[in-house]
Chain A
Amino acid sequence: MTTDLRRLVVVGASLAGLRAVEAARRAGFTGSITLIGAERSAPYDRPPLSKALLRADAPASVSPFHTEEHLRTELGVDLRCGAPATGLDIDHRRVLVGADRVDYDGLIIATGAAANAWPLGAGVPGVHPLRTAVDALAIRAALDAGKRVAVIGAGFIGSEVASAARARDLPVTVIEAAPQPLTRSVGPSVADVLTGLHRSAGVDLRVGTQVTEVHQNASGVTGLTLGDGNYLPAELVVLGIGARPATGWLRDSGLALHRDGGVLVDATLATRAPGVYAAGDVAHAPLSVFDDEVVRLEHWTSAAEQGAAAARHLLDPDTARPLQTVPYFWSDWHGHRLQFVGVPTADEARVIRPEPEQFLALYRRGDRVVGAFTVNGQREIMRYRRHIVGHAPFEDALAEAGAHDRAAV
């Protein structure tokens, strides 16, 4: 390690921040590490919040990746939870936390994303976003109480909440403003099959409509009026309307931000400010494998990968190389595993197997394969990833799909 860096500060105590800390220690960094987090708890995992944690038999609390004790003693972290950073001074290399100042030689920004606000339902009891453990436990309690559920937005998180409600046999309505769910993440031809998965599981899916009014009584939300005039009774309303980068604290820092507020970094995750890197849901980075398309991913694997890489690159900039990230996410709907690898921005999304329970679509950009989407395709999805990362021709991925089908019969 070629560094005279003594003080590492990581802002954002979740997946990307934790992976940065772990990677720094693994690389032999012996200086001080301060981990600043807005939430009260030590870093924990988010994907289970909309999956296992909503089940009737789920544990009553969310356990962190590591105990605070472990973070302090094993990883030598000065952990400051429940204390959001409020400002950044890049000239003096200093993070502001309220009235406190934390000086750094190297800084990793990993403040992720926060659920979008929904002004119509602001302050109404029973209306919940789903981003944190606190949110998830509140939603779980409402499901336990057998409330009627409405989900705003048929994205991945909203769809998982709908699945959790149906698994408990509760009626659930999903309200989606777009004509189809998830068009932006998977493309229109694939969005169709997703609609089918919801409908056959008994989800009342209302597309192309919006909520116009939220009704409430003294104990909270009672129902919603939709744009088409229909009234929908519901005592639990879950918001699945996306998240935006949590960068309010960077507004006056002079750091270059994307128009959505995310932090712009290069392919090694460096910002233009000296000693400052960003990783995870907060960062807009070019994808070297995909023509340097700049994207802000909100996926577990890239947040983990970027967190670790940001720390390694910060400590040893000479060895920094562009990340070879291939976006990947999974989601669980009604007992089916959905997986997407690559990017959906393609010239064509070709449906190879249309059956919803063993669906496969491959995405073509020019003559190369850039993405694959499967339902229950655990055994094959990573084979397509290999073709994608190797810039393979679309034909090769088609041949792979054919080979898989022959092996399956």
Chain B
Amino acid sequence: MRIVADIGQCEGLGMCEAMAPDIFEVGPEGHVVIHDASPDESRRQDLQAAVDACPVLALTMQD
């Protein structure tokens, strides 16, 4: 499982950070910084929540 952010799309709205703060953070440039791009399978729900919560659809999950 991998998580990919489209930085061109990301507007730094921060919902991903709200869903999984240890994995996502809005960085100094106002874009998402991914701390762990291949998290453990046990985090699937959190990641899906982050993908779904992003208002500009900047995040995708790849198996």
List A residues at the B interface (Cβ < 8 Å): 19, 47, 65, 300-301, 304-305, 308, 326, 328, 330, 337, 339, 378-379, 381-382, 385-386
Taking the complex as formed, is B39 at the interface, i.e. its CB lies under 8 A from any CB of chain A? Answer: no
Distance between Cα atoms of A317 and B51 in the complex (Å): 24
B53 within 8 A of A: yes
Knowing A301-B15, A328-B15, A330-B13 are in contact, say whether A378-B52 is a contact too (CB < 8 A). Answer: no
Q: Is the CB of B53 within 8 A of A378?
A: no
The CA-CA distance from A65 to B30 in the complex, in Å, is 24
Q: Are B14 and A301 in contact (CB under 8 A)?
A: no
Sampled A-B contacts (10; CB under 8 Å): A19-B52, A47-B55, A65-B57, A304-B53, A308-B52, A339-B14, A378-B12, A382-B17, A382-B26, A386-B21
A305 B26 Cβ-Cβ under 8 A? no
Chain B residues near A65: list those with CB within 8 A. 57
Q: A65-B57, A337-B12, A379-B28 are in contact. List 16 more A-B contacts (CB 8 A).
A: A19-B52, A301-B55, A304-B53, A305-B52, A328-B15, A328-B18, A330-B13, A339-B13, A378-B30, A382-B15, A382-B17, A382-B18, A382-B21, A382-B26, A386-B18, A386-B21
Give every chain B residue within 8 A of A47 (Cβ-Cβ): 55
- In whole angstroms, how far apart are the Cα atoms of A386 and B55 in the complex? 19
Contacting residue for A305 out of B14, B28, B53, CB 8 A = B53
Q: How far is the CA of A300 from the CA of B53 in the complex (A)?
A: 9
- Chain B residue contacts of A330, Cβ below 8 A: 13, 55
When A19-B52, A308-B52 are in contact, do A378 and B26 touch as well, CB less than 8 Å? yes
What's the Cα separation between A26 and B18 when bound, in Å? 22
Q: Using Cβ atoms and an 8 Å threshold, which residues of chain B touch A385?
A: 18
Closest A residue to B24 by beta carbon equals A382
CB-CB under 8 A from B57, the residues of chain A are: 65
Q: Which 5 A-B pairs have the closest CB atoms?
A: A378-B12, A382-B14, A382-B17, A382-B18, A300-B55
Report the Cα distance A386→B17, complex, angstroms: 10
* Contact status B15-A381, CB under 8 Å: no
Overall SS of chain B's interface: loop
Report A248 CB to chain B, min CB distance, Å: 28
CA–CA, A249 and B51, complex, Å? 33
The residue of chain B having its C-beta at the shortest distance from the C-beta of A65 within the complex is B57
Contacts of A381 in B (CB 8 A): 14
The verdict on A304 contacting B12 (CB below 8 Å), with A378-B26, A385-B18 known, is: no
Min Cβ gap A202→B in Å is 24
Give A112 Cβ to nearest chain B Cβ, in Å.
Answer: 16
For residue B28, which residues in chain A have a CB less than 8 angstroms away from its CB?
379
Q: CA of A304 to CA of B7 in the docked complex: distance in angstroms?
A: 21
Q: Which residues in A have their C-beta under 8 angstroms from that of B12?
A: 337, 378
Complex Cα distance, B15 from A301, in Å, reads 8
Give CA–CA (A386, B27) in the complex, Å.
Answer: 17
Query: Roughly how many angstroms separate A304 CA and B53 CA in the complex, as a whole number?
Result: 7
Residues of B within 8 A of A326 (CB): 18
Chain B residues positioned under 8 Å from A305 (CB to CB): 52-53
For residue B60, give the distance in angstroms from its CB to the closest CB of chain A. Answer: 14
- Cα distance A288–B7 when bound, in Å? 34
Cα A382 to Cα B30 in complex, Å, equals 13
Q: Which residues of B contact A382 (CB under 8 A)?
A: 14-15, 17-18, 21, 26
CB-nearest residue of chain B to A26:
B48
Cβ-closest chain B residue relative to A15: B55
B46 shortest CB reach to chain A, Å: 13
The CA-CA distance from A337 to B11 in the complex, in Å, is: 10
Give the Cβ gap from A28 to chain B, nearest Cβ, in Å.
14
0 or 1 for each of B6-37: is its CB under 8 Å from A? (1 = yes): 00000011110110010000111010000000
Whether the pair B53, A379 counts as a contact (CB closer than 8 A) is no
A66 to chain B, nearest CB (A): 11
With a CB–CB cut-off of 8 A, which chain B residues contact A304? 52-53, 55
Of B15, B21, B26, B52, which contacts A379 at CB under 8 A? B26
CA distance A339 to B14 in the complex (A): 10
Cα–Cα, bound, A19→B48 (Å)? 13
